[in-house]
Structure 1
Amino acid sequence: MSLFAYASSELFTAGALLPMHEDLGVSTDTIGSLVTTYAVVAAVTLLPAAALTRRLAPRRVLVGGMLALAISQAALTVAPSLTYVELARVFAAACHGLVWAAVPVVAVSLMPRQPGKATAVVFLGGSLGTVVGSPLVAQISQLGSWRLAAALLGVLAAGCAVGLRRLVPDLPAQGSTNPGTPLVPATSRRRVARWCIVIVPIAAAYTASYTYIAETAGQAGVPVRWVPALMLTMGMGGLASTVSAGRAHDRYPGAATVLSVGVLAGGFALGVARAPVFVIGALLWAAAYAALIVQFQAFVTEDSPGWSRLASSFYVLAFQIGIAAGGLLGGRAITGARGNLAALSTALAIAGALLTGYTVRGRGSANAT
């Protein structure tokens, strides 16, 4: 529920775009840019915030992050102008990375023998925030007001803070260990660094294609009226894949991950085809990407005993870098000939596949040794 609230908040202005445009009297592209600003702030503040909170127990970090989101949404509810809206969202964005880095670590600590399933369960909330949360914000904003939608998200965040405070065990902090000290084995540092490198091309490939899915679908012959249904189907497929990926990871971690990244590259390659092959490809890469998000995060948590929260912070930062790169590269590719975007995403996915195979193989060899 906490990740659902944060994901819904991150994309809040996308769902409430037109109502905020009319109420605040600014252009739609200005409102839309608030999502980019949020992502930039979340990336820039992640490592400093992680360093400042490294001696705090995970439960305190989570409770503090959800209270920050509740305060942010309350401020958003009464914001009189765009400037106050930006300040309110920046406050939440500064805690965004901390929450997303701590949640899977806490989840795995509660289910240490099923790290894949634990990660999948909590990431399902984040996926629901994207698939369900944003449309709900749009619906509430149209039927009531965007300020009502902000208030409801604030209430949800406050409720999550209370629930986390009461239900999550008071796990010890990991402040005495960081990746720069001899207490962290070199093997652990190398593994986490490799997963951070792997996620960059994978996230870039997905972001480049998904950002412009409406345009590429139209070029492939998909009627405009069917694009929302396509995106909804991709999202639902991603939800199902998130659940199944956790179980697959716990049984066959290496093989399941290699399979997912192979399906991802294959799905992107089908982007050069016309409908319905294009649609099949889109469904494949959307499902594969959802699975990889769970699998990579589970590997990062498993490979960083004693400093998993900080390791997860580095991974989230790498994830944000991949997203930013994908948006930039995708914007340039879409202006060229049809098929350029599919070729770009396929090339990035293949690079990610090769890196994944190398990392999984090295990990297996080290474990065997």
Structure 2
Amino acid sequence: MSRTAETAESASTAAPGRIDAPTATRLAVLAGAAFVYVTFEVFPVGLITDIAADLHVTAGQVGLLISGYAVVAAVVTVPTVALAARVSRGTALMVSLGVLVVAEVLAAASTGFAMMAVSRVAAALTHGVLWSLIAPAAAALVPREHVGTATAAVFGGASLAAIVGSPGTTLIGGLIGWRATALVLAAATVAVTYALTWALRPRRSGSVRTEEAADAPAPAAEPAPAPVHAPALAEEGRVNWPAVLTLCGVAVVLVTAHFLSYTYFALIVTEVTGDSGAVVVLLAAFGVAGAAGTFLIGRHNDRAPQRAATVTMAAFAAGVGLLALAFVPAPRAVQYAVIAVAVAVWGGAFAAAGPVFQTAVMRLAAGDADRASSVYVTGFQIGIAAGSALGATLLGRSAAWLPAVSLVLAAVVLAVVFVRRPVPALS
């Protein structure tokens, strides 16, 4: 029996009702890997003014560290994922985390902007490998009917980065400095890497073996009749590339809309509230809402993915719309209330969008989820780069332009999702 066939058979015989505790623990470790990677990716967001002052550059230039990271990740993701295909998923994930540790240490030791940029490039080189493999690895651990839940669980690590990682590094950075904070993050990454060596050890139970899950592609979805304007699920072993590329295009616009404002979160909050101390609180609120959004979307994404996508995009548009409204002159208490609600709705919706789109890509990709995921991750990075760079340009006019343009882009995404339905329906 082939490895793929054995994996599929094991998955089909697993208890369909729930995910067992050992598998849940392994999913948690994969989520931890997502946590440390996302935390470093958005590391400059809450510390943008501190880093700019220390490196003697502008806030806009520090913002470009995020867009530059994304550009590198977008360029190298497809070739690095192809290279990683020569080894097991587990090995590729371990190497990715090892490179991240090196990048974090380089950031802490940066003597100038150029060295800081090098640290970002180093992490970006394996960013796409981790994000292309982590969701398929999680999906291979569970029966097919729980793929959406497993994907949401892994993306919970990204949400946790928003809850604890970004506000945590901002808070710690204010206490011990951003350089020391980078070293703390490096220590956390080492701990996650060690945990991953345990999580990927072979085990035999009634479900998929961890060793095989790390190597094998995600379980394939069965073909299903497609409603009008909806892409068909891929047949066994085939990728519906037109549908995958359409979905990736929609994701690019969504991510551009998000990072256009999120990259300069600290500047937006400070301008609206007049209180830089509100940044940590609202970053935490953003993260908590993101965790709630990820949790809520899990089962709905397994049952009604098209509806989940539409509701998520509508909430995202509402969130950035409220963020734009927060700039309208009003009593300070009203502005605080508006931006707090905006951040919560925006954070919850964007976090939920991740598993919705990632799961859709895997369903469209059938037996080649790794390669399709690499294309999706490339599109995601293009969106980050475009959003951060466009935000740096608009910042010269006024921070109020950022959420306003995000709203326009969000409206375009909502219209496409509602009319064209790029997220496939289930049979």
Aligned to 1:256: 308
Aligned to 1:43: 74
Aligned to 1:127: 159
* Matched residue SS, 1:306: helix
TM-score of the superposition, structure 1-length normalised? 0.81
Instruction: Tell me how far apart the structure 1 counterparts of residues 422 and 181 of structure 2 sit (CA, whole Å).
Output: 49
Question: Is residue 290–residue 352 contact of structure 2 (8 Å, CA) maintained in 1?
Answer: yes
Tell me the CA shift for residue 148 of structure 1: 4.1
Closer, same or farther: CA 316–66 of 1 in aligned 2, 3 Å: same
Matched, 1:153 2:185: no
Closer, same or farther: CA 85–278 of 1 in aligned 2, 3 Å: closer
Instruction: Tell me how far apart the structure 2 counterparts of residues 163 and 362 of structure 1 sit (CA, whole Å).
Output: 35
Aligned to 1:344: 405
Aligned to 1:107: 138
Q: Give CA deviations for 1:21-42 in whole Å, capped at 9, x if unaligned.
A: 89xx743657775444433322
Residue identity in the other structure for 1:163? W
Which of 341, 346, 359 is residue 285 of structure 1 equivalent to? Answer: 346
Q: Give CA deviations for 1:92-137 in whole Å, capped at 9, x if unaligned.
A: 3211110111111111121221122111111111222243124444
Tell me the CA shift for residue 246 of structure 1: 1.1
Matched, 1:170 2:212: yes
Question: Is residue 74–residue 128 contact of structure 2 (8 Å, CA) maintained in 1?
Answer: yes
Closer, same or farther: CA 63–261 of 1 in aligned 2, 3 Å: same
Instruction: Tell me how far apart the structure 2 counterparts of residues 269 and 329 of structure 1 sit (CA, whole Å).
Output: 18
Closer, same or farther: CA 147–312 of 1 in aligned 2, 3 Å: closer
Instruction: Tell me how far apart the structure 1 counterparts of residues 126 and 51 of structure 2 sit (CA, whole Å).
Output: 24
Question: Is residue 264–residue 349 contact of structure 1 (8 Å, CA) maintained in 2?
Answer: yes
Instruction: Tell me how far apart the structure 2 counterparts of residues 336 and 35 of structure 1 sit (CA, whole Å).
Output: 20
Which of 197, 210, 222 is residue 249 of structure 2 equivalent to? Answer: 197
Instruction: Tell me how far apart the structure 1 counterparts of residues 399 and 40 of structure 2 sit (CA, whole Å).
Output: 34
Matched, 1:94 2:125: yes
Residue identity in the other structure for 1:300? V
Instruction: Tell me how far apart the structure 2 counterparts of residues 334 and 31 of structure 1 sit (CA, whole Å).
Output: 13
Q: How many residues align?
A: 356
Superposition map of 1:1-369 within 5 A? 1-12=32-43, 26-27=55-56, 29=58, 34-73=65-104, 87=118, 89-111=120-142, 112-137=144-169, 142-143=175-176, 145-146=180-181, 148-149=183-184, 151-166=186-201, 168-171=210-213, 172=215, 185=238, 188-217=240-269, 220=272, 223-270=275-322, 271-273=324-326, 274=328, 275=335, 276-336=337-397, 340-360=401-421, 363-364=424-425
Alignment root-mean-square deviation, CA: 3.4
Residue identity in the other structure for 1:170? E
Tell me the CA shift for residue 311 of structure 1: 0.6
Closer, same or farther: CA 160–42 of 1 in aligned 2, 3 Å: farther
Answer with 330-339 or 46-55: which moved more: 330-339
Question: Is residue 301–residue 308 contact of structure 2 (8 Å, CA) maintained in 1?
Answer: yes
Tell me the CA shift for residue 297 of structure 1: 0.8
Instruction: Tell me how far apart the structure 2 counterparts of residues 231 and 261 of structure 1 sit (CA, whole Å).
Output: 21
Considering fraction of residues, name the structure with more helix: 1
Tell me the CA shift for residue 342 of structure 1: 3.5
* Matched residue SS, 2:145: coil
5+ long unaligned stretches in structure 2:
1-31, 203-209, 218-234, 329-334
Residue identity in the other structure for 2:292? A
Instruction: Tell me how far apart the structure 2 counterparts of residues 269 and 15 of structure 1 sit (CA, whole Å).
Output: 22
Answer with 198-207 or 225-234: which moved more: 225-234
Q: Give CA deviations for 1:63-100 in whole Å, capped at 9, x if unaligned.
A: 23223334545666777887666555533321111011
* Matched residue SS, 2:366: coil
Closer, same or farther: CA 173–330 of 1 in aligned 2, 3 Å: same
Answer with 268-277 or 76-85: which moved more: 76-85
5+ long unaligned stretches in structure 1:
175-181
Instruction: Tell me how far apart the structure 2 counterparts of residues 263 and 251 of structure 1 sit (CA, whole Å).
Output: 19
Question: Is residue 238–residue 368 contact of structure 2 (8 Å, CA) maintained in 1?
Answer: no
Tell me the CA shift for residue 217 of structure 1: 4.4
Q: Give CA deviations for 1:32-63 in whole Å, capped at 9, x if unaligned.
A: 75444433322221111012223433223222
Residue identity in the other structure for 2:93? L
Instruction: Tell me how far apart the structure 1 counterparts of residues 122 and 399 of structure 2 sit (CA, whole Å).
Output: 40
Residue identity in the other structure for 1:263? A
Instruction: Tell me how far apart the structure 1 counterparts of residues 162 and 365 of structure 2 sit (CA, whole Å).
Output: 28
